[in-house]
Amino acid sequence: MPDQINKKTSLICLIILFSAIFIFRISHIHTKEISWDVLGYYLYLPASFIHHDPGLHSIEWLQKINDEQQLTATFYQVGSNSKGEPMYFFLMGMALFYLPFFLLGHGIVQLTHYLPDGFSPPYQIALVFGGLVYTLIGLIFLRKILLNFFSERTTVFTMLIIVLGTNYIHHLTIDNLATVNVLFMLMSILVWNTIQFHKQANTRNLVWIAAPIFLMGLVKPSEIVALLIPLFWNVSSIAAFKDKMRLIVQFKGTILLCLLGGLLLFFPQMYYWHERTGKWLYDSYKNPGVGLDLFSPHILEALFSYRKGWFIYTPVMVFSIVGFYILKKQDKPLFSGIFIYFLVTFYIICSWSEWWYGAAYSLRPMITSYPLLAISLGYFLNFISEKSKPIKYSVYLSICILIILNQFQWWQLRHFILDPYRTTKEYYWAIFGKTHKNPEWDQYKLVERDFSGKFEFKNRENYLHKVLASWDFINEKDTRFEKDSAGIGIYRMVKDEEFSKTFSYRFNEITSKDHAWIEASISIRFPDYSVESKQDPLYWLCLWSTNMESMHIMPLS
């Protein structure tokens, strides 16, 4: 009987964890589940099934709904092609996972009084329920992965740490409609089937390796690097790599069929791009200032920044990183596949220019790799369990403290004490351990950004004011500074001169801080002769400077 009970311990743990997640999530459904990024992922469905416009040729219906429900401040979820026509900003991968539950919600709406607009409560509740289904699948496969390597005891402890001690708890509960929930599930399925394929190489296991990789790529293209996991699994030497190549050749027919299946999966997306842009491959993610910069990774910020540093907000995962050393010592072939993928995906995460990833809790994209990091964490726990009691219990106590810290900081985030965008070192320590927020602490935060696109300089008293630059238009040496007939100073541009005279500064010449406000005002005067006379129309150029005094208007000849 004890052995039978012990074999069910991890299953009981899974049921309890998921039940807690389910209850918490269901009790925290709000009226704007389909908003911000989720709105962008979801647009394909109401556009196609309700408004019969799968190509998104018009967004009038979306504007109307947003006016009523305020789902987004700006329509960054809608891009445009070279003709200025609206296009989907995000890929259709998440819409594919929303689809069954969208149809469920749409069916419920037909039987009730709710509006069949794609945004009424039945749709939102159905999507949340779908997110919970994907969470459960992810946890089931995580348990299977861990039991392949560890005892029930280690499996239970590892699952508790991953779910309760990391940012998993936020992004797979309150934020479970975002990409990371689906990606965690797909990664768990991929890792499990990679394990099975290397135990028994057959077509079925290979197909179940390929499917999640292609689906991950359709959800988030950078996740296609998950291909490195099966490619380098159990490869720790040149000889082992040659064996892997022979295995690939052996299954080349199946691999080609999988590639064809992946192409068919991507074809609707590619066809849409071609119809709207004339290109089969197109980067629809046109977000000014945001993108991949592989030559400027933000590694230290991603790990240690008080804004979103992984080791600051998810410190328990330090033990998983230490576990890599133990894993290498005990199972080098297993170490290779996991560690190579981890290094590559972490580098890509750090190379994203917006490395803090919006309103995420801790470093959100790392959650996708947790099914693999759970393995190195399990090796660490096994290693510690064999040490002396003082060492063992000290580590266990540290883990418990870090889990409590994670839960408390998550509580602070949900109660708007911990700021998801603007936290600095000074602000972090001001609120550390606090259950309330003091408005005076706001001065320690990063600059406030208005997501409506309307920036307002509110706290002027906290800034040093200075004139950055100006022209007096009188004592300038450039010969193109002159006076018009009324004696007003002007700067005359010559033919084919694209830009007027400018000031140019490096950022560190303006300030040593992380930001600066540069302020200017413009007023334009049009002389009567430029509007009413029979002369050829004149174009006017405004010159301004940051002291709000050197404002001049001039005609361009």
Q: What is the DSSP string of 149-207?
A: HS-HHHHHHHHHHHHHSSTHHHHTTTTTTSHHHHHHHHHHHHHHHHHHHHHS--HHHHH
Q: Is the pLDDT of residue 430 over 80?
A: yes
| DSSP letters spanning 11-22 | HHHHHHHHHHHH
Closest CA to 364 of 418, 310, 421, 298: 310
Mean pLDDT: which of 276-285, 287-296, 321-330, 440-449 is highest?
321-330
| DSSP letters spanning 264-316 | HHHHHHHHHHHHHHS-SS------TT-SB-TTS--HHHHHH-TTT-HHHH-GG
Q: Is the pLDDT of residue 358 over 70?
A: yes
What pLDDT is recorded for position 521? 58
| Cβ atoms of 162 and 374 closer than 8 Å | yes
| DSSP letters spanning 77-123 | TEEE-TTS-EEESS-SHHHHHHHHHHHHHHHHHHTSSS--SS-SHHH
| Cβ atoms of 130 and 122 closer than 8 Å | no
Sort residue 84 into left (φ over 0), alpha (ψ -120 to 50) or beta. Answer: left
CA distance to 482, 483, 536, per residue, from 539 (Å): 18, 18, 10
| Cβ atoms of 360 and 167 closer than 8 Å | yes
| Cβ atoms of 489 and 473 closer than 8 Å | yes
CA distance 61 to 102: 18
For range 419-440, the mean pLDDT: 96
- DSSP letter assigned to residue 515: -
Q: Is the pLDDT of residue 280 over 90?
A: yes
What pLDDT is recorded for position 69? 94
| Cβ atoms of 323 and 376 closer than 8 Å | yes
Predicted TM-score of the model (pTM): 0.88
* Model confidence band, residue 338 (pLDDT cutoffs 50, 70, 90): very high
- DSSP letter assigned to residue 499: S
Provide the CB-side half-sphere exposure for 351 (13 A, CA): 12
- Of residues 1 and 320, more confidently modeled: 320
For range 315-331, the mean pLDDT: 98
* Percentage of residues in the chain having pLDDT higher than 90: 76
Least confident of 153-162, 165-174, 361-370, 466-475: 466-475
Q: φ and ψ at 448, to 5 degrees?
A: -80, 130
What pLDDT is recorded for position 555? 38
CA distance 472 to 483: 12
pLDDT mean across residues, the chain: 89
User: Quick one: tokens of 231?
Assistant: 């490619």
CA distance to 89, 94, 320, per residue, from 284 (Å): 5, 15, 36
- Of residues 483 and 406, more confidently modeled: 406
Return the SS3 of 475. Answer: coil
Q: Is the pLDDT of residue 279 over 90?
A: yes
Count CB atoms within 10 A of the CB of residue 490.
Answer: 18
Q: φ and ψ at 291, to 5 degrees?
A: 170, -175
What pLDDT is recorded for position 529? 45
For range 426-454, the mean pLDDT: 89
Q: In the beta sheet, which residues pair with residue 352? A: 292
For range 422-433, the mean pLDDT: 97
What pLDDT is recorded for position 464? 83
What pLDDT is recorded for position 453? 64
Structural domain spans, the chain: 2-405, 415-462, 463-557
What pLDDT is recorded for position 356? 94
Write out pLDDT tens, residues 69-92: 999 988 999 999 999 999 999 999
* Model confidence band, residue 343 (pLDDT cutoffs 50, 70, 90): very high
- DSSP letter assigned to residue 555: E
* Model confidence band, residue 230 (pLDDT cutoffs 50, 70, 90): very high
Write out pLDDT tens, residues 477-509: 777 777 777 777 777 777 677 776 777 888 888
Sequence-distant (≥ 6) Cβ neighbours of residue 437 within 8 angstroms: 416, 417, 431
Q: In the beta sheet, which residues pair with residue 555? A: 540
| DSSP letters spanning 51-88 | SS-TT----HHHHHHHHHH---SS-TTEEE-TTS-EEE
| Cβ atoms of 337 and 235 closer than 8 Å | yes
| DSSP letters spanning 332-354 | HHHHHHHHHHHHHHHHHHHTBSS
Angle of helix 93-110 relative to helix 121-149, nearest 10 degrees, comes to 130
| Cβ atoms of 181 and 134 closer than 8 Å | yes
What pLDDT is recorded for position 449? 79
Q: In the beta sheet, which residues pair with residue 483? A: 489
Return the SS3 of 474. Answer: coil
| Cβ atoms of 361 and 170 closer than 8 Å | yes
Helix (H) / strand (E) containing 377: helix 370-385
Write out pLDDT tens, residues 166-214: 999 999 999 999 999 999 999 999 999 999 999 999 999 999 999 999 9
CA distance 410 to 432: 12
What pLDDT is recorded for position 520? 67
* Model confidence band, residue 524 (pLDDT cutoffs 50, 70, 90): very low
User: Quick one: tokens of 363?
Assistant: 């470093």
Provide the CB-side half-sphere exposure for 491 (13 A, CA): 19
Q: Is the pLDDT of residue 546 over 60?
A: no
CA distance to 130, 425, 470, 483, per residue, from 476 (Å): 67, 46, 11, 11
Closest CA to 219 of 5, 38, 52, 380: 38
Count CB atoms within 10 A of the CB of residue 391.
Answer: 11
Sequence-distant (≥ 6) Cβ neighbours of residue 346 within 8 angstroms: 302, 366, 369
Write out pLDDT tens, residues 117-166: 999 999 999 999 999 999 999 999 999 999 999 999 999 999 999 999 99
Sequence-distant (≥ 6) Cβ neighbours of residue 141 within 8 angstroms: 185, 188, 189, 191, 192, 371
